[in-house]
Amino acid sequence: MAGYVRLGDLNTWYDEHGEGEPLVLLHPGGVDARAFGPNIDGLARRFRLFTPERRGHGHTPDAPGPITFDLMAEDTIAFLESVPGAPVHLLGCSDGATVALLVALRRPDLVRRLVCVAGVFHRDGWAPGVVDADQPSPAFLADMYAEVSPDGAGHYQVVAGKLNRMHLEEPTLTAHDLRRVTGRTLVMVGDDDEVTLEHALALYRGLPDAELAVVPGTSHGLLVEKPELCDRIILDFLTTDPVPTMAPIRRVRGA
């Protein structure tokens, strides 16, 4: 069931799939909810999925002014309050992971378990050359935008410019900030990701209650490249409690 919800001055588009506990999926930047196409069926067998599209993405129109991670986090909080209306599991991929992390920091009461897929908490977490002001956007992104945007194909370069500025300047969270995320979190990354493995480790180590999954043989598109494996990892994390480990180091009781 797809449709719009009015959140302040923004008509936010979203779709729903499946039944069960609510799981909200936050898509990568520059694309839309179709990015989760290979994962929808697997996750919807267990959860009621919500797939909102953020301002300037997909079916959701752009708005005057810059696009920022803080603003998209506030939009997402408004969505969680208005549509699911209850605490949810929250999964974000790439830019969506950064937004999800900010939501968990600001409104832990709305987030049950958190999954951060191929996302950064600081702009320096991108591999060299990934964020490049002089590099044009891939043509397929403009084509995808034109297919569904209510603002029309000609507005794509405006949105691309806003996102480029955002990626050069944001986010700027610190390891100290990460310690305030109290919920259980899964950090996922491809072994050849645009997010450096060192940064993914810093995210994992900075979060008080985190688990780490490095998906072998994948890149920044790990959810699409190995959807069945990624879905299994995500479902295991969301549906089971932590097991007692035989030789804990990081998770030694009281540590």
pLDDT value at 255 more than 60? no
Domain at 3-239: CATH code: 3.40.50.1820
pLDDT at 212 over 70: yes
Gyration radius from the chain CA atoms: 17
* 195 pLDDT higher than 70: yes
Exposed/middle/buried for residue 31 (C-beta within 10 Å: 0-12, 13-18, 19+): buried
Residues 111-161 have pLDDT tens digits of 999 999 999 999 999 999 999 877 778 899 999 999 999 999 999 999 999
Looking at residue 36, what is its pLDDT? Answer: 98
How much is the pLDDT for 60?
98
DSSP assignment of 80-136: HHHTT-S-EEEEEETHHHHHHHHHHHH-GGGEEEEEEES--SBGGGBPTTSS-TTSP
pLDDT at residue 107 is higher than 90: yes
Query: What average pLDDT score do residues 170-196 get?
Result: 98
Domain boundaries along the sequence of the chain: 3-239
**If pLDDT is split at 50, 70 and 90, which confidence band does 240 have?**
very high
In this predicted model, what pLDDT tens digit does every residue of 176-185 receive, in sequence order?
999 999 999 9
Amino acid at residue number 66: P
- Average of per-residue pLDDT across 202-227: 98
- Inter-axis angle of helices 227-239 and 37-44, nearest 10: 40
State the average pLDDT for the chain. Answer: 96
Least confident of 83-97, 129-143, 218-232: 129-143
The percentage of the chain sitting over the pLDDT mark of 90, rounded to a whole number, equals: 94
pLDDT in tens, 4-19: 999 999 999 999 999 9
Contacts of 125 (CB under 8 A, 6+ apart): 195, 196, 199, 200, 202, 203
Tell whether pTM > 0.85: yes
Contacts made by residues 224-233, CB under 8 angstroms, sequence distance 24+: 224/35, 224/37, 224/38, 225/190, 227/38, 227/39, 227/42, 228/42, 230/39, 230/117, 230/188, 231/39, 231/42, 231/43, 233/186, 233/188
Q: Which one-letter amino acid corresponds to residue 249? A: I
What are the tens digits of pLDDT across the range 33-87? Answer: 999 999 999 999 999 999 999 999 999 999 999 999 999 999 999 999 999 999 9
Residue of 251 and 44 predicted with greater confidence: 44
